[in-house]
């Protein structure tokens, strides 16, 4: 029996698969009433999506369309209300929170729009944080790995600086180094260039492209159609549904 197939990738098995996924977020309004379950907002309405290892996929769509929800489900940050999410052979909706935390550290790196660096830690300490939390290797080994990743993103000489001493572009580079700390096969980006000017955004995307060329599967959300076109595949989302799945110019 063959595994799921990613769109446009021939017979390549999917590394990431969402099957019949629905996601409803409920507010506190209405809870406490007899039978009340709160007011629901359905972010996804039955999404089927398969992504093969080594792809670079841009997810686009208007605000509130469900783009970030897809990223959060792939990362195991959110759980589906219905359907299944399978990533790198693991069924995420069947895992406990503790299992998800361990799984996430080994399988996905996440880059956010607003960096989310620890302000009291240096760039090197931020880059090593996932290794510290997972207790992988000795302190010296973790420091060496963080240093190599900072060098990869062009910050080899800035490891001792605090986030506030770095530019926005440099902070996002640290965030990428942190995301790659444990060598995950998947890198997820939620508007990773959205807080940068055009030139810095272009530079940041080139870093993502290099990681992809080296074998990392990259999936990112963007409002920037020019950046979306640089991906090998563009998935368009609207009203919680995938309405387009096309090839990019890459």
pLDDT band at 226; cut points 50, 70, 90: confident
In the chain, the domains with their CATH numbers are 55-79+94-247 (3.40.50.300)
Q: Stretch 82-90: mean pLDDT, rounded? A: 95
Dump pLDDT digits (tens) for 227-239: 899 899 999 999 9
* Residue 13: strand, helix, or coil: strand
Q: Is this structure's pTM higher than 0.75? A: yes
Output the average pLDDT for the chain.
87
Q: Stretch 90-114: mean pLDDT, rounded? A: 89
Tell me the sheet residues that pair with 42. Answer: 24
The span from the CA of 61 to the CA of 235, in Å, is 9
Give percent of the chain with pLDDT exceeding 70. 90
Cα–Cα–Cα angle for 68, 74, 80, rounded to 5 degrees: 80
The span from the CA of 70 to the CA of 143, in Å, is 33
The residue ranking higher by pLDDT, 35 or 147, is: 147
pLDDT band at 9; cut points 50, 70, 90: very low
Q: Stretch 48-66: mean pLDDT, rounded? A: 95
Helices 123-134 and 97-107: crossing angle in degrees, nearest 10, is 130
Which strand (E) or helix (H) includes residue 208? helix 198-213
How far CA 225 is from CA of 230, 247, 248, in Å, comes to 9, 13, 10
């Amino acid at each position: 029996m063959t595994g799921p197939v990613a769109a446009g990738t021939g017979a390549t098995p999917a590394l990431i698969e969402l099957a019949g996924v629905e996601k409803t977020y409920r507010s506190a309004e209405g809870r406490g009433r007899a039978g009340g379950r709160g007011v629901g907002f359905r972010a996804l309405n039955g999404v089927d999506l398969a992504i093969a290892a080594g792809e670079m996929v841009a997810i686009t769509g208007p605000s509130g369309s469900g783009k970030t929800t897809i990223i959060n489900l792939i990362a195991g940050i959110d759980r589906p209300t219905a359907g299944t999410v399978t990533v790198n052979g693991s069924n995420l909706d069947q895992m406990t929170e503790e299992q998800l935390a361990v799984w996430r550290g080994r399988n996905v790196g996440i880059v956010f729009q607003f960096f989310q660096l620890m302000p009291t830690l240096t760039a090197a300490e931020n880059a090593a944080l996932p290794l510290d939390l997972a207790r992988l290797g000795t302190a010296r080994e973790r420091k060496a790995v963080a240093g190599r990743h900072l060098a990869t993103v062009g910050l080899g000489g800035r490891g001792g600086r605090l986030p506030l001493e770095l530019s926005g572009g440099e902070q996002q580079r640290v965030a990428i180094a942190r995301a790659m700390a444990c060598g995950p096969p998947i890198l997820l980006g939620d508007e990773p260039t959205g807080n940068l000017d055009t030139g810095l955004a272009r530079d940041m995307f080139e870093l993502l492209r290099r990681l992809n060329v080296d074998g990392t599967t990259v999936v990112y959300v963007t409002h920037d159609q020019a950046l979306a076109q640089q991906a090998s595949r563009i998935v368009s989302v609207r009203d919680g549904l995938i309405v387009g799945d096309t090839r990019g110019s890459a």
